[in-house]
Chains A and B, each alone.
Chain A
């Protein structure tokens, strides 16, 4: 998986949270707390640690810790293997915490692509992001 190929689909969710970054960091990195808001897991905040996230729906995600910067940045792979290629997904999830006057700005970015589409993306990495951004404008104009 090359890094550029992973920059093909992106989801960003941001939120102002009225809590200090240290506290949010605990919720993002302690297994019993992660389970309460995300999924069952065997997470450990150590770069290179491989773990699984287990959903109530029976799905299991294969993950590996990529970056740990306490109270600031946490990044891990978020891969899902499925018999139906349409559900296959390789992605990277990154949480960023930025202190604000009233708490913390929490930003989650998921960059991903479906493995079977790697070939298709190969020749057209540039332009995808831009294209998807434009796409939303196009769709907003049409019903």
Chain B
């Protein structure tokens, strides 16, 4: 399911969701219960956040018996990374032209 950068931004604008996503990125596959422990957030709240993250394509759920194991899908962040890499590429090539100009200004 293609996700717009808008959805990504609003999904990750929530600090709790961002924390969940970061933790899954760091620690790999985790269950809702493990994610809830020491998080200071209730299990239903964590489940709700996971559903939103899943909708944005940021996490994937794998069912095993009665448990669902969630994992981060960092490739879903591509639209977010794009802006910065595109702009960086733009400025690098502008600065190449700037350096050419500075050489010509010598004469």
Binding site for B on A (CB under 8 A): 9-13, 15, 17, 19, 23-24, 26-27, 33, 36-38, 85-86, 106, 108, 110, 112, 114, 116-117, 119-124, 127, 131-132, 134-136, 138-139, 142
Q: Which of B33-91 contact A (CB under 8 A)?
A: 72, 74-75, 77, 80-81, 83-84, 87-88, 91
Main secondary structure of the interface of A (DSSP, over half): helix
Closest 9 CB pairs of A and B: A120-B13, A37-B97, A37-B98, A13-B91, A120-B10, A11-B87, A124-B13, A117-B9, A19-B102
Cα-based distance from A15 to B105 in the complex (angstroms): 18
Binding site for A on B (CB under 8 A): 4-6, 9-10, 12-15, 18, 22, 25-26, 72, 74-75, 77, 80-81, 83-84, 87-88, 91-92, 94-95, 97-102, 105
Show 27 residue pairs from A and B whose CB-CB distance is below 8 angstroms, ordered by the A residue.
A9-B83, A9-B84, A10-B84, A11-B91, A15-B99, A17-B98, A19-B102, A27-B102, A33-B101, A33-B105, A38-B97, A110-B87, A110-B91, A112-B83, A114-B5, A116-B6, A117-B10, A123-B13, A124-B13, A124-B14, A131-B22, A134-B22, A135-B74, A135-B77, A135-B80, A139-B74, A142-B74
